[in-house]
Structure 1
Amino acid sequence: MPAGSARKAAGSARSLALDVLDGCLGLKPRAAESLFDNHPGLGRLDARDRAFSRLLYVSCLRRMKALDAALAAHVKKTPKSLTLLNILRLGAAQLLILETPPHAALKETVDLARAKAPHGAGMVNAVLRRLVGSRLADAAAGIRETPSWLHESWARAFGEREADGLEAAHGGEPPLDITCPVDREAWAERLGGVCLGKATIRLRDHGAIGELAGYGEGRWWVQDVAAAALVPLLGDVAGRHVLDIGAAPGGKTAQLCAAGARVTAIESSDARAVRLRENMKRLGFAPEIIVADACEWTGGGGFDAVLLDAPCTATGTIRRHPDILRVRKPSDAARMARQQRRLLEAAIRQLSPDGVLLYAVCSLQHEEGPGQIERLLSGANGVEPVPVDATRLGGLPAHVHADGTLRTSPADLADEGGMDGFFAALLKRHA
C-alpha cells in the first residue's frame, strides 16, 4: 500500500469511527460521544465526513450483535484483535446498513485495515467481498440487541410489551430536537421542522448543527423534547433563585434563564464547565457558574428551587447513545443510585423552607427513579412529594404514577421519531 494511501486511510472518517469503537469497547470503556467530540482528527474532516463518521460508529454500536452474526457466517474464528474485529464491523455496517457502494466500502475499509491492522487486511477483503449482496435482516433474525439483564429489568418494571417497544425505539437514528424559546413557529418554518411540546422544534433532515440558521445567533439549543419537558414542571420560576446541579451542557440552565430565573449552575467537571460557559455565552445568558462537587459545596443555601438532573446509567437515551447497550453492567444502576442519594441529600440542604426540588434522571431503571424516591420518603428527610402537573408538558405523552411522579418513554411518539426516557419527581421542603 503506498505511503500516501496509508496516511489518507489513517486520517479518514472511517479511521475516526474505528478509534471511537476501539475506545468505547476496550478494557477501559469511554463514552463514544466524548471520544468522537474530542478526537484530534475531527477538525480535519469537513462537515459531510464528520457526519458520515458519526453515523458509521453509531450504526455499528446500534446493530452490533446483528453485524457480528452476519460476519460469523463468513469468518471461521472471531479475530482476537479488537481493532481488526471493529474494522470488519465498519465494513459490514457500510454494506448492510448504510448501503455504501460496495466498491467504495471494500476499498476504503481494506485500506483502513492495511493502515491499522495490516496482518488482517487480506481477511477483511475476503470477508467483505462475501458479504456483498447479503441482507442484515437475515442475520438478525431472533437476535436481541439489548442485553438480557437490561430487557428483563424493563419487563419487570413496565411489562413485556413495553420492553419490546423500547428495544424497537432504539433501532433507528433519532431526529434532531432543538429548544427555541422565542418565535418558535417562525424558526420551525425556516428550518423545515415541526413543533413538539412547549418549545421544541424537531428536525428530520439537517446538515451540520453549527451551520444551521440561528445557531450562531443563539436563537436555539440542542435538547431532546423529553429533556426540555422537565423545567416547566417547576412552574413559574421568573425572579426565583434556582440552583441547577450538574448543569452542563446547559440545556436546562438555558431554559431556566429564558424563563427569567436567577440561576446558579454548579458543575463538578472543569471540562464540562468550560462547555457550559461557551454555550451560555452563545445563547446570551449569564448564570452564575460554580465548579464544585455539589455534595461538598457549602456556599449556597436558601434556594427557591433546585433542579437535580442526576448522573445515571442513561438507559433512557440509548436511541442517541447506543454504546450504553455495550458497556453498561447489571451493577451500574445500584452504583449510580448511591451517588444519586448523596446528591439528593445535598440538594435538599440547599432548599429554603417550602422550596421545591425537581429530581430527574434519564434512566429507565427502577433503582434510579421510583426506587430512589421511595427510599428517600421512607426516612426523615424533611421533604414531602408534590404531584407533577402533566398539563405543563405541552401535550407530550407521559406516564404519571399514582404517587405523582412522572416517566417519559422512548416507546412513545414512535411515529414522530420517539423521545428520550426520563423519570421526574417533585419534592417540597418542610417549612
Structure 2
Amino acid sequence: MTTKPEPVKQDDAAGVATRRATMRLLDAVLRQGLPLEAAMPGATAELDRADDRAFARAIAAEVLRRLPDLDALIDTATTKRLPGDSKARFALRIALAQALALGTPHHATIATVLPLMDGGPRRLVHGVFGTIIRGEAKLPEPPGLPKAISKRWRKAWGAGAADAARHAIAAPPPIDLTLRDPAMTMQWVERLGGMSLAPGHVRLARGGAVSELPGFADGEWWVQDIAASLPARVLGKGEGRAVLDLCAAPGGKTMQLAAAGWAVTATDLSEPRLERLRENLARTKLSADVRQADVMAEEPEPRFDAVLLDAPCSATGIFRRHPDVIHRVTDRAIAALAEQQAAMLRRAAGWVKPGGVLVYAVCSLEPAEGEGVADGFATERDFIRDPILAEELPDGIIPGAAGRVRVLPGALGEAGGADGFFVARFRRA
C-alpha cells in the first residue's frame, strides 16, 4: 500500500497534524523524488504556525538522515518485511526517529503517529514500535549511508571520505556567514560569538532565528557555507571589471562579487529565484544588473573579464543540510547532469574576453560532474588551466595537484566541516 497524502482533520489531537505533514514530506521525497524544500509549501500548507512547519521539516530531515538504520530496526521487528512505500513503514520511521533521535517521549510519539494509520494496520505499528522500544534499541552512531551512495563515494574518494560523510550527516551543520566587508571580520566574530576560518567569514553554532541576529537587517552579512564562497573568492578583487554570474540565484556569489568591487551581471532562468536575489541585494545595499536568461538560449558575446558558472547539479555536496539528496539522486541523473554541465560550460566560455577568467563550480561530490566536466573542457583550444593557489583559499582547504579544488567530507572537520564542492579555473588565451 503506497503512502497517500491525507488532509489535516479537525479532530486531530495536538501534534497529529504536524506528523501528517511530515508523512506528506517523506512521501514527496522518497516516493515522488521531490527535493525536501520544494515539497514544504504543499506538504505543510495546512499548518498555520511557523514552528509547526519547522518541526515537521525537522522530523522529516531526521528520518532522511537515518533512513537506512531506521529501516534496519523496523525489519528486525517484523516477521514479514514491510514494503518500502507502505504507510506502516512511513509511520514507524517517523515514530522511531522522534523516540530514538529527537528525544520525544515514547507515549507522545505513538499517540501522534497512530492516527496517521486511518484505514491502516494500527495494531501492527503499535506492536512493532513497542517491540523495538522494549528491546532498548539504539540507532548507530554515526548513521549509515544508503548503500548506493556509500559504494559510489568509497570508489571515488576512498573509505576515509565515505566514513567522514557518515559523521557529517549525523547532525545539521553550523551556520556560515559571508561578510559584506571582510575588514570587519574580527569585529563580527566578537559581536556574534563565532569563529572565523577566512577573511570575510564567520561561523556560528546552529540555533535561533538567523534573521534576528545583529547585522542581518542592516545587510552586513548573508548565510553561505564556506565551501560555497570559494568560486567567487578565487576571482579576487574586481576593481571595476565586468563579471557574469550565471545561474546566480539566490545570490550569495553575486553579493560576494559586488562586495569585492566587480561590476556584476547576474542571470538565472528562474524569475522567483531572481526575486530572492533582488531582495538580498536590497538588504545588503549591493548592486548588480539582474536579468532572467537561459544560458543555453542566449548568444554568447565575449565582453566579460570573468565568468562564473556554478552549474545546476545533483547537489550531493550539501547532504549535511539537505539529507534528501542522497535518497533522490541516481547514476542516470548524474550522467545526464554532467552532459548538461559540459554544454553549459562551453557556452559560458563564449562570454569571456581574451585574457579573461572562467570559473566552473558544482556543489556535488560526484566526479562526473566535477573533474569529468573540467577534464573535458580542458581540451578547448582557446583556454588554459589557471591553477588555484593555496593562499587564495581558507586555511585547511588545499588545491589538488592540477590546481583545482575538491572539498570532500572531512574537510575542516575539527571546525565543523564544509559542504562538498568542486572548483576549477581557466583563462582564455
TM value normalised by structure 2: 0.90
Cα deviation, residue 217, structure 1: 2.3
Q: Gaps spanning 5+ residues in structure 2: where?
A: 1-7
Q: 1:130-169 counterparts in 2 under 5 A?
A: 130-132=131-133, 134=135, 137=138, 140=140, 144-148=144-148, 150-169=149-168
Partner Cα separation in structure 2 for residue 334 and residue 101 of structure 1: 44
Question: Is 1:348 matched with 2:349?
Answer: yes
Q: Is the 8 A contact 2:317 2:364 kept in 1?
A: yes
C-alpha distance in 2, partners of 1:186/1:50?
Answer: 35
Would the aligned equivalents of 1:253 and 1:265 in 2 still touch at CA under 8 Å?
yes
- Quick check: 1:306–1:356 contact (8 Å CA) kept in 2? yes
1:2-41 CA deviation, whole Å, 9 max, x = no partner? 96432855642x3332221110111x31111222266553
Amino acid at match of 2:112: E
Q: Residue 177 of structure 2 aligns with which residue?
A: 178
Q: What's the secondary structure of 1:196's corresponding residue?
A: coil
Using the TM superposition, give the Cα deviation of residue 240 of structure 1 relative to its aligned residue in structure 2, in angstroms.
Answer: 1.2
Aligned residue type for 1:90? I
Partner of 2:73 in structure 1? Answer: 70
Shift of 1:118: 3.8
- Contact 2:143–2:166 (Cα < 8 Å) also in 1: no
**Paired AA for residue 21 in structure 1:** L
Instruction: Give identity over the alignment, percent.
Output: 35
Residue identity in the other structure for 1:99: G
1:330-380 Cα shifts (integer Å, max 9, x gaps): 222221111111110111000111110111111122211122121112243
From 31, 36, 42, give the equivalent of 2:40: 36
> Residues 429 and 164 (structure 1 numbering): CA distance in 2 closer, same or farther, change over 3 Å?
same
After superposition, residues 10-21 of structure 1 pair within 5 angstroms as: 11-12=17-18, 14-21=19-26
1:134-169 CA deviation, whole Å, 9 max, x = no partner?
5554x6499842333x33333333333233223332
Give the direction of change, closer, same or farther, for the CA distance of 1:387–1:415 in structure 2 (3 Å limit).
same
Instruction: Rate the CA distance shift 1:8–1:422 in 2: closer, same or farther, 3 A.
Output: same
TM-aligned CA deviation for residue 236 of structure 1: 1.5
Which string of whole-angstrom CA distances, capped at 9 and with x for unpartnered residues, describes residues 367-395 of structure 1? Answer: 11122121112243x11110102212232
Q: Could you say which residue in structure 2 is the equivalent of 1:390?
A: 390
Q: Superposed, which structure 2 residues align to 1:306-385 within 5 Å? A: 306-380=307-381, 382-385=382-385
Contact 2:248/2:267 (8 A) holds in 1: yes
Q: How far, CA to CA, are the matches of 1:354 and 1:218 in structure 2? A: 34
TM-score by length of 1: 0.89
Q: Taking structure 1 as reference, are residues 23 and 193 closer, same or farther at Cα in structure 2, changes over 3 Å only?
A: same
Letter of the 2:151 partner, please give it. E
Distance 2:208 2:105 in 1: 22
Change in CA separation of 1:141 and 1:169 when aligned onto 2, cut-off 3 Å:
closer
Which amino acid in 2 is paired with 1:24?
V
Other structure's SS at 1:295 match: coil
Contact 1:398 1:409 in 2 (8 A): no
Counterpart of 1:22 in structure 2: which amino acid? D
How far apart in 2 are the matches of 1:376 and 1:299?
17
Shift of the 136–60 alpha-carbon distance from structure 1 to 2, 3 Å rule, reads farther
Q: Does 1:57 align with 2:60?
A: yes
Partner of 1:407: 406
Moved more, 214-223 or 38-47: 38-47
**Alignment partner of 1:98 is 2:102:** yes
Letter in 2 for 1:420: D
The one of 47, 50, 55 equivalent to 1:46 is 50
Distance in 2 between residues matched to 1:390 and 1:135, nearest whole Å: 49
Deviations 1:294-346 (A, max 9, x none): 12113754101011111112222111111122111122222111111111011
Q: Offset at 1:403?
A: 1.7
1:5 paired to 2:4? no
